[in-house]
Structure 1
Amino acid sequence: MAKEIKDIIGIGIGPFNLGLAALADQTDEVDGLFFEQTIEFNWHPGMLIEKMDLQVPFLADLVTFADPKSPYTFINYLHEHNRMFPFFFHRHFEIPRQEFNHYMQWVAKQVDGLHFGHTVIDVIDHNEEKTPHYEVIVEETTTGERKHYRSRHVVMGTGNEPIVLDGMDRLPNEDVLHTSRYLFQKDQLLKSRHVAVIGSGQSALEVFLDLLEEQERSDMKVTLLTRSGGLFQLDTAKFAQEMFTPDYVDYFHSLSFDQRKEALSTLDPLRKGIAPDTLTRLYTKLYHRTTAMEDSRVLIQPMTEIKGIEASEKGGYDLQCRQWQEEYDYTYHADKVVFATGYKPHLPSWFMDRYKDEVEWEADQMYKVSRDYQLEFKDGRDHHFFTLTNLVHSHGAGATNLGLSVHRNVHIINTIAGREVYKNQKDTTFQTFSMKHPK
């Protein structure tokens, strides 16, 4: 076991922990290590579709909101890659998702203390020792070698895992798949005669649009089945976007659990809508394709809930559907099916085994989290267990927002350092949310 006790160990290296590592790298007050089971940084590789942009502006990079002078800003990435003038002439506030992934890979290659190809298999609490700390056990992917590290604090950034329909795991994953694997199967999807896409959010529309733009054969049909009442636009209005600010997070976290659940339902247009540009591209594509005649190769069917799926005797798959408004049940056939059914927080088995009974819970699978992103333990402690995962119920719709992830990392670093290493942005909205604590 390593004798040195680090300030922090990060579990998982996605955009959130990568941003934390980049900020920690620029201060002497937080010394950390970060471990990731994949062999290199790659952000949702199955959905890096060409011509698809981020839904947040480029300023929501890994560090700018905390430290615009950092060498790890997106602007410095452009400068280092001789892309300043092309970006300037491109005149887009949102950037291609592929470029953002390349930017993060560039950062990952420079920041010290990042270890890819290493899986955290256990985290043991040494609460009774003179210096309370966590023992993090890590297994190297290629060799199976196990190493033990010690840290005063840990940060769990284990991300999300795909939500799949019951029974999907029994079907061939090259035929029935989640959008997270779309690009890996795209060529085979385009060779089939009928692809059905299931979902009503941004990922569903991106896959559906990409298939339409690549649809060259006259005998190929593409269908979109959505449970929602229609294809609804993401609310990008300026006052609506103030819900993605530190001020609103302060307000949201101060509410009771029931009040937070109610508030989340009112924020659905900010969380589950489709980017206006994506909807415009889809409508324009369909408009041009139907100039001379109706295009029977395309079907968009809202208000349709998928109740089940099974292999068909004639090949392909039968979807058990229900038009919920008409209360009409029917079967729909497709050769291949892509589910855009979203993601759920991934809580490692070691976490549930060791800490389920040690922490406070607000509801099933929803642990209690402090404003500073610490899990609240029943015994209270000074060696903190921070989480970047499963925060929507405690910190609101912005829990998965890239811009607010920098604000979250500022909280974590300042808490560990015991002082304000990075400025915590306040009073950033024109709206006042709380009457108990007005501006």
Structure 2
Amino acid sequence: MADIMNGYGSEHHMNGAHGNGNGCHSNGNTSFTDSISNGHSTSNGINGAHRNGYLTYSDGKTSSPKMGSHNQEPYDLICIGFGPASLAIAIALHDQKTQARALFLERQPEFAWHSGMILPGSRMQISFIKDLATLRNPRSKFTFLNYLREKNRLVAFTNLGTFLPLREEYNDYMAWCASHFEDCVKYSQDVVSVAPIGEKPIQNWAVTSRDIKSGQEKRLAARHVVVAVGGKPNIPKAFPQNPLGPRIIHSSGYSSAVPKLLNDKNKAYKIAIVGGGQSAAEIFNDMHSRYPNSKTSLIIKGSALRPSDDSPFVNEIFDPSRVDSVYSMPAEVRKESIVQDRATNYGVVRLELIEHLYETLYHQRLQNPSEAEWQHRIIPLREVAGVEENKLGEIYLQLKNTRTGMVETTAGFDAIIIATGYVRNVHETLLKPARGLLEGKSCQVSRDYRVQFKEGAIAKNSGVWLQGCCENTHGLSDTLLSVLAVRGGEMVKSIFGEESHAVNVIENSVRKYTDAIVKDIVNGLRAKDGSNGQA
């Protein structure tokens, strides 16, 4: 089963990135791009700050413009969100030595990936080889293996004999990658809109963000904008919306919110978890150890928890090359194909966890045949039809039987955890000012994730790209981690053209030539010493 991506640990921020007056840095020491360049702009009209002849991402000490000002030089790229999708783009920009001034705007106060679901012992559901770089460039400094080497854990990790790291470790890997680009990221920035600037054809976009701490709004201009804000919690209609209420928590905030709400680990809390997927099952399982005296109920729509299909042939659904074939399908065929493949990622649970939970419930059956008296229960064939709260703060759920239609009211719960996934439509709100330029009523994207605008509306060296919200056109892998390394490179190529790729081709050719010379020298020395070995 492929692992979930993004979350609003995805992407938002503002102000020009500063780096000791020298532009955007990697790890504070080397230039983000370290480009082999004389500092001239490329044919794409990319202009940037110069640093020792290199083109860098930030504008050095240039302060951010005031709200509404567009007199400053536009950024070549602003990415809205700095989660895994945008991080993969940053890494691809670095690896391909792309000359550009780029800025990443992130809503969270620091880099975090599904921090609410970093549970003890939870593992990734994809191989570490599908990291943020390896499938595109195994020699990248941002591979998971190089991360292990830098952390002095490479040999120890090999002794684990697994391709599936702990989720805690993989989150640390991505945070380590993100730390190299701190001067190009502005955190605690909530982007509120992306609007076209000037008359057709549009050459620049105004990206407006609000500082979460101060409330101040600022606006920056960019030629290219990537919207990669991840998903927002999917809240069933029966529950209160905005806000949920103090005792109702979405799974995205589970790890941080639950300990504050239920602060006595020994108390016999009554807790309900709503959802039938991996996150719901993990929370249900975690509650058993986190609150050993609690009484927990897992409420699911289906008749039983169902296993994910991560067999080798089925897993090819998530191969980067599969995106081409999915996108080229007729719309109806593609829709049916995605529906058929949903068991790989939606509403399913890894088999090992299902077996563990069944064993837990069986042990209760062994001690007490009356299921109604069990401490932990799975309640199938139910959906929440209503929510009520009494004066004591207890929450009652009205559960509708999905087969008979009958409705029953539960006993009171101290907390409700909603694990019903995410919706990915934030981009529609952000791009509302540009709606009149779209080809259709909603955002449609081409194969390279570029938003399709009316002919002549947008200049050739300008555009908007979407990430993590294109499942209907690009397949199930769109919201997942599996394709990020390759997709990051595709995005750089789509936005900036072939120039960035050309640098890598030259470098690879030079490396091969140098390796050949070294090999000849070594073999020559061995021949001189009388050795028969070959390098």
TM-score by length of 2: 0.72
1:234 corresponding residue in structure 2: 308
Q: Does 1:88 align with 2:158?
A: yes
Match of 2:387 among 286, 292, 309: 309
CA pair 420-208 structure 1, distance change in 2 beyond 3 A = farther
Match of 2:92 among 16, 23, 42: 23
Runs of 4+ in 1 over 6 A off after TM superposition: none
CA pair 374-296 structure 1, distance change in 2 beyond 3 A = same
Match of 1:165 among 229, 236, 248: 236
In 2, the alpha carbon distance for the partners of 1:393 and 1:127 equals 32
1:375 corresponding residue in structure 2: 451
2:10 corresponding residue in structure 1: none
Q: For this pair of structures, how many residues does the alignment match?
A: 418
CA pair 404-225 structure 1, distance change in 2 beyond 3 A = same
Alpha-carbon contact 1:244-1:397 (below 8 Å) kept? yes
In 1, the alpha carbon distance for the partners of 2:224 and 2:495 equals 8
RMSD: 2.5
Alpha-carbon contact 1:199-1:225 (below 8 Å) kept? yes
CA pair 420-333 structure 1, distance change in 2 beyond 3 A = farther
CA pair 351-130 structure 1, distance change in 2 beyond 3 A = closer
Q: Does 1:115 align with 2:186?
A: yes
In 2, the alpha carbon distance for the partners of 1:9 and 1:258 equals 34
CA shift, 1:417, in A, is 2.8
1:265 corresponding residue in structure 2: 339
1:326 corresponding residue in structure 2: 404
Match of 1:244 among 315, 318, 331: 318
Match of 1:280 among 355, 369, 375: 355
Q: Secondary structure at the match of 1:330?
A: strand
Match of 1:4 among 73, 79, 82: 73
Partner amino acid, structure 2, of 1:409? G
CA shift, 1:159, in A, is 1.1
Q: Considering only CA atoms, is the larger Rg found in Structure 1 or Structure 2?
A: 2
Match of 1:225 among 280, 296, 299: 299
In 1, the alpha carbon distance for the partners of 2:99 and 2:255 equals 38
Alpha-carbon contact 2:368-2:374 (below 8 Å) kept? no
- Give the 5 Å matches for 1:274-423: 274-294=349-369, 296-312=374-390, 316-335=394-413, 336-347=415-426, 351-361=430-440, 367-380=443-456, 381=458, 382=460, 383-419=462-498, 421=500
CA shift, 1:349, in A, is 7.3
Alpha-carbon contact 1:158-1:346 (below 8 Å) kept? no
Describe the superposition over 1:109-157 as per-residue Cα deviations: whole angstroms up to 9, x where unpaired.
1125122223333333236489822233344444455544332211001
Match of 1:213 among 289, 293, 316: 289
Q: Does 1:199 align with 2:270?
A: no
Identical pairs, percent:
28
CA shift, 1:348, in A, is 5.3
Partner amino acid, structure 2, of 1:331? T
Q: Secondary structure at the match of 2:109?
A: coil
CA shift, 1:239, in A, is 0.7
Question: Larger deviation: 30-39 or 340-349?
Answer: 340-349
In 1, the alpha carbon distance for the partners of 2:405 and 2:217 equals 55
1:435 corresponding residue in structure 2: none
1:37 corresponding residue in structure 2: 107
CA shift, 1:402, in A, is 0.4
Pick the structure with more strand per residue: 1
2:257 corresponding residue in structure 1: 185
CA shift, 1:9, in A, is 1.1
Alpha-carbon contact 2:188-2:213 (below 8 Å) kept? yes
1:434 corresponding residue in structure 2: none
Partner amino acid, structure 1, of 2:206? E
In 2, the alpha carbon distance for the partners of 1:174 and 1:149 equals 36
CA pair 143-321 structure 1, distance change in 2 beyond 3 A = closer
In 1, the alpha carbon distance for the partners of 2:427 and 2:452 equals 18
In 2, the alpha carbon distance for the partners of 1:211 and 1:328 equals 29
